[in-house]
Structure 1
């Protein structure tokens, strides 16, 4: 599964549903589920449904359409999107969902 490191407190704001846009300086063509990694732990899954370029800020807005908490597990973070051997249909434990 694709994964992305997001620093605190933004990772928790995504998990709580407060933050629905992730700002990045780089674009991606990827759409779908991404594992949220923060402070060395995978803590949730978010769905990237769209990416828009904001001319005013010069940043890309990654639109988050769904967030699911998972049972945390250790992950070594990397820059950009990276692969983690994780199977969400059998491995994750959903505690709450935001749309």
Structure 2
């Protein structure tokens, strides 16, 4: 399964706040499930990162944190989350137990044991 790195706080917003589009400078023809990798970096000033960590002390960085379906790629969208120039339209976000891994640019195949992918809270 392919993965896509997303900086915090945006990865959090996909799974907790209804963020329905991932903004990119490039287009994709890919459709289907993709793993979301929460990158180690934060998108915003240090003060915002401190506030984010205070509000979300258990948020994960540097790991695969969930799965989402990409259903379209658009250049315009009626969503408060769309800022373009391209947007991967997201549906069906599912959190998983985090799997530490190194991220990469673009779509990538993560160096993880795929048999370890479990819904969040499932210890089996």
TM-score category (smaller protein):
0.7 to 0.9
Q: Shift of residue 58 of structure 1?
A: 5.4
Runs of 4 or more consecutive aligned structure 1 residues displaced over 2 Å after TM superposition: 84-87, 90-96
Structure-1 separation of matches of 2:84 and 2:68: 23
Note the C-alpha offset of 1:86: 5.3
Counterpart CA distance in 2 for 1:70 and 1:33 is: 13
The corresponding residue for 1:35 is 35
Cα distance in 2, alignment partners of residues 59 and 83 from structure 1: 25
Q: Deviations over 1:27-57 (max 9, x none)?
A: 0110011111013100000100111123xx6
- TM-score, normalization: structure 1? 0.82
Larger relative helix fraction = 2
Structure 2: runs of 5 or more not aligned:
41-61, 77-82
Q: 2:23, 2:84 within 8 Å by CA — same for their partners in 1? A: no
- Higher normalized strand content (fraction of residues): 1
SS in 2 for 1:15: helix
**Are residues 93 and 34 of structure 1, via their aligned partners in 2, closer, same or farther at CA, if it must alter by over 3 Å?**
same
Output the TM-score relative to the length of structure 2.
0.67
The equivalent of 1:93 in structure 2 is 118
Which ranges of structure 1 fall in alignment gaps of 5 or more residues?
A: none
